[in-house]
Amino acid sequence: MTAITPELVREHGLNEAEYAKVLELLGREPSIVELGIFSVMWSEHCSYKSTRLHLKKLPTSAPWVIQGPGENAGVIDVGDDDACIFKMESHNHPSFIEPFQGAATGVGGIMRDVFTMGARPVASLNALRFGEPDNAKTKHLVSGVVAGIGSYGNCMGVPTVGGETNFHKSYNGNILVNAMCVGLAKKDKIFYSAAKGIGNPVVYVGSKTGRDGIHGATMASAEFNEDSEEKRPTVQVGDPFTEKLLLEACLELMNTDAIIAIQDMGAAGLTSSSAEMADKGGSGIEIDLDMVPQRETNLTAYEMMLSESQERMLMVLKPGREGEAEAIFKKWELDFAIIGVTTDTGRMVVKHKGEIVADMPVTALSDAAPIYNRPYVLRSPAEGQPEFDAAKPAMDSLIKLLGTPDLCSKRWIWEQYDYTVMGDSVQQPGGDSAVVRIHGTQKGLALTTDVTPRYCYADPREGAKQAVAEAYRNISAVGGTPLALTDCLNFSNPEKPEAMGEIVAGIEGMGEACRALDFPIVSGNCSLYNETQGTGILPTPALGGVGLLKDISKMATVAFKRDGDAIVLFGE
C-alpha cells in the first residue's frame, strides 16, 4: 500500500479542503488508485469547477435543440429525419509540446466525441492562435500543427472545410489549437452515454491501453513506472488508421440495436468514461482491469485508470448481444473485451488481480465535485489608440492591413487539408462560412468558427458578443439560417481575479448575444490556465457556429459574379 502523504495529495492537484471532502465522502483514507481517480475527476478539466456556476448563464435550448451541453456533443434538428451533432474542443498544451501529435490527437478526440453519438463526421474546422510570426518557435509550431491536423483529418476522410488563424505575442508560449467536428445522424438513431440497467455488460473497444499521457503526480508516477530512465511522455501519438476503423466499426454496430450506452475515452480515459456513464445512468459500475487489453506489461491499476491512450471507447450492451458486437470489431481488427458490468449499487468498483483497488460512490465524482465561485473583478474596457492614422491615405492603410498575418490569405493552411473528400463540400475554404451538403439531399450546413481576441482583450464582454454576432453573420452571408453554437473558452488563470473577471464577462456577453439572436450554445469546453510565466493569453472564447440552408442552390458566395453588377453596402 502506498501511504497517502500530504505531499502526494498536493501533487494530485487537490487542496486541503478538497482532500478533507474526499475523506468525508469515502469515510476513510483513499487508496492511491482512488486518489488518482478523484484527482482527474475533480480537475478543472473534468469538473469545470471554476466555470460551472457561470456556464449556467448561457442559453442552451431552443425548439430545434435535441441535446444541449452535458453529452459528448450537442445535437440539433436540421429538418426531415436529420440531426446535426457537433462540438469544439481544445488541445492547447499538448500542441505546444509536440505540435504535430498534439494537434492530430486533438482532431481525433473531437471526432470520437461526435461519432460516439452515432453521427458520421462530415466536416472539421480548426481555430488556431499562434505567437508572433517572428518568434523563434512560431514557424515550427504553425507547420507542425497544420500538418498534424491534416494528417489525422485527411486519413479519416473527413473534409477540413474551415477555421481561423490569428497571431499575437500573448500566445508565444501558449498556442491555442481548437478543433471542431460536425457530424450527421438520423434523429431516431442518436446514442447517449447513460449506462442504464443492471447486469449489462460493459465493453471496451478500440486500441490497447498503454502508459500514455498519465499526468497525475510526478512522485506517484515515478513509483509506478518500471522504466524510470525515460521520463514518461505526456503527449500521445495519434493513430488515425485505427480511429478510421473504430469509426466504421461503431457505425456498423450502431445499425443494430445492441447498444445501450456508449462514450469515448477522452481525458482520463477509463476513469471518466466509466464514472460519467454510471452517473448519467443512475447506476453503479464494476470493472475488472485484468480484462482490459494492454499494450505493455505490468501496467498498474493506477496507470490503467489514468491512461489517456487514444482511439478507445466504452459501451454498455444489451445482454446477449456481445457475440454480434464482437464479430463486428474483429472484422475491423480492433480489440473487444468485456471488462465489467452495470450494477444497482451506485458505486464504482474497480478490481485488479483479484483485489478491489477502488470502491467509491459514483456521485462523489460528479455531484459532490467542488464548485467555486471564484472572486473576480470586472475591468473597464482597455484604453488605447488605434494603430492606424486616419490622416494617412486610405490606400496605405489598406495595403498595410492586407499584409498583416491575421488578414493574409490562409490558403497555405487549407491546401494541406483535404476539403473535398466525401463529395459534399459545396462551399470550400475562402468564403464566410463553409457549406457542406447533407448527403443525398438539397440541404446544406453552413459552418464557421469565430472570435477576435483583440476585441475580447479590449472589452471581454463586448468582444464575446461580437464573436457571436460574427458567427451569426458569417452563416447568414452564405444564405444559412443560424441554428446553434459550440464554444471553446480559452482563458488564463481563474485564480487571478482579473482573469476570472474576463471569464465571467466573456460568458455573460456570449449569453446576452446568444439570447438576443436565438442562437443557443449546445456544447463546448473550457481551457483555463493558459499562461506562461505569469502572463495570460488574450481572452479567447472561440465559437463554432452551425446553420442550415434548406436549398443549396440558393447559396451565396463571396466572389463577384459579373461585370456591371451593383455593389451595395448595408448595415451601419
Ligand X SMILES: Nc1ncnc2c1ncn2[C@@H]1O[C@H](COP(=O)(O)OP(=O)(O)O)[C@@H](O)[C@H]1O
Positions touching another protein (CB under 8 A) are 97-98, 101, 147, 150-151, 154-157, 207, 210-212, 227, 230, 232-242, 244-245, 295-296, 309-310, 332-333, 414-426, 428, 437, 552
Q: What are phi and psi of 42, to 5 degrees?
A: -95, 10
Residue 564 Cβ vs another protein, minimum distance, rounded to whole Å = 24
Is there a contact between 111 and 89 (Cβ–Cβ < 8 Å)?
Answer: no
Nearest to 102 by CA among 157, 162, 142, 159: 142
User: Amino acid identity of 266?
Assistant: G
Q: Give the alpha-carbon dihedral of 94, 97, 99, 104, to 10 degrees.
A: -30
Residue 426 binds what, of ligand X, another protein, none (CB under 5 to 8 Å, by partner type)? Answer: another protein
The stretch near ligand X (CB under 6 A) out of 13-21, 162-170, 336-344, 538-546 is: 162-170
The stretch near ligand X (CB under 6 A) out of 179-187, 253-261, 329-337, 406-414 is: 406-414
Distance CA 159, CA 174 (A): 27
Pick 245 or 305: Cβ nearer another protein? 245
State the catalytic residue, choosing from 12, 54, 91, 168. 91
Query: Is 439 an active-site residue?
Result: no
Interface with ligand X, residue 194, by CB under 6 A: no
Residue 210 binds what, of ligand X, another protein, none (CB under 5 to 8 Å, by partner type)? Answer: another protein
Distance CA 347, CA 361 (A): 4
Pairing of strands 444-450, 481-490: unpaired
Residue 533 Cβ vs another protein, minimum distance, rounded to whole Å = 20
Q: According to CB under 6 A, which residues from 252 to 281 bind ligand X?
A: none
Residue 423 Cβ vs another protein, minimum distance, rounded to whole Å = 4
Pick 332 or 336: Cβ nearer another protein? 332
When binding is defined by CB under 6 A, the residue of 131, 162, 501, 539 that contacts ligand X is 162
Q: Cell triple for residue 566?
A: 451593383
Is there a contact between 447 and 433 (Cβ–Cβ < 8 Å)?
Answer: yes
Q: Cell triple for residue 390?
A: 486616419
Residue 383 Cβ vs another protein, minimum distance, rounded to whole Å = 41
Task: Quote the crossing angle between the two packed helices 269-281 and 32-41, to the nearest 10°.
Answer: 70
Q: Cell triple for residue 100?
A: 504535430
Q: Give the alpha-carbon dihedral of 138, 141, 147, 148, to 10 degrees.
A: -160
Interface with ligand X, residue 418, by CB under 6 A: no
The stretch near ligand X (CB under 6 A) out of 98-106, 255-263, 315-323, 425-433 is: 425-433
Burial (Cβ within 10 Å: 0-12, 13-18, ≥19) of residue 179: buried
Interface with ligand X, residue 480, by CB under 6 A: no
Pick 279 or 308: Cβ nearer another protein? 308
Distance CA 503, CA 58 (A): 13
- Give the number of residues in contact with ligand X, rule: CB under 6 A: 14
Interface with ligand X, residue 126, by CB under 6 A: yes
The stretch near ligand X (CB under 6 A) out of 112-120, 133-141, 214-222, 410-418 is: 410-418
Residue 162 binds what, of ligand X, another protein, none (CB under 5 to 8 Å, by partner type)? Answer: ligand X
Pick 441 or 557: Cβ nearer ligand X? 557
Interface with ligand X, residue 430, by CB under 6 A: yes
Interface with ligand X, residue 414, by CB under 6 A: yes
The stretch near ligand X (CB under 6 A) out of 314-322, 389-397, 429-437, 536-544 is: 429-437
Residue 204 Cβ vs another protein, minimum distance, rounded to whole Å = 16
Q: According to CB under 6 A, which residues from 281 to 300 bind ligand X?
A: none
Interface with ligand X, residue 165, by CB under 6 A: yes
Residue 512 binds what, of another protein, ligand X, none (CB under 5 to 8 Å, by partner type)? Answer: none
Q: Which residues pair with 343 in a beta bridge?
A: 284
Per-residue interface string for the shown chain with ligand X, residues 432-451, x marking contact by CB under 6 A: x-------------------
Closest-by-Cβ residue to ligand X is 163
Pick 245 or 451: Cβ nearer ligand X? 451
Pick 167 or 376: Cβ nearer ligand X? 167
Pairing of strands 176-186, 82-90: antiparallel
Positive or negative CA dihedral for 167, 435, 80, 473? positive
**Buried residues in 482-520 as b, exposed as e (16+ CB within 10 A):** bbbbbbbbbbbbbebeebbbbbbbbbbbbbbbbeebebb
Is there a contact between 220 and 36 (Cβ–Cβ < 8 Å)?
Answer: yes
Pick 4 or 426: Cβ nearer another protein? 426
Interface with ligand X, residue 79, by CB under 6 A: no
Pick 179 or 275: Cβ nearer ligand X? 179
Is there a contact between 83 and 187 (Cβ–Cβ < 8 Å)?
Answer: yes
Distance CA 347, CA 144 (A): 43
Residue 552 binds what, of another protein, ligand X, none (CB under 5 to 8 Å, by partner type)? Answer: another protein
Distance CA 514, CA 77 (A): 18
Residue 549 Cβ vs another protein, minimum distance, rounded to whole Å = 12
Residue 388 Cβ vs another protein, minimum distance, rounded to whole Å = 34
Residue 418 Cβ vs another protein, minimum distance, rounded to whole Å = 4
Query: Is 45 an active-site residue?
Result: yes
Interface with ligand X, residue 429, by CB under 6 A: yes
Helix (H, G, I), strand (E, B) or coil at 26: helix
DSSP state of 148: H
Pairing of strands 521-527, 355-361: unpaired
Query: How is 150-186 classified by DSSP, letter by letter?
Result: HHHHHHHT--EEEEEEEE-GGGTTS-EEEEEEEEEEE
Helix (H, G, I), strand (E, B) or coil at 513: helix
Residue 491 binds what, of ligand X, another protein, none (CB under 5 to 8 Å, by partner type)? Answer: none
* Sheet of 312-317, strands arranged across: 259-264, 312-317, 201-206, 335-343, 284-288, 347-352, 355-361
Pick 150 or 494: Cβ nearer another protein? 150
Pick 428 or 452: Cβ nearer another protein? 428
Pairing of strands 347-352, 355-361: antiparallel
Q: What is the set of active-site residues?
A: 45, 91
The residues that touch ligand X, with contacts defined as CB under 6 A, are 126, 128, 160, 162-165, 410, 413-414, 429-432
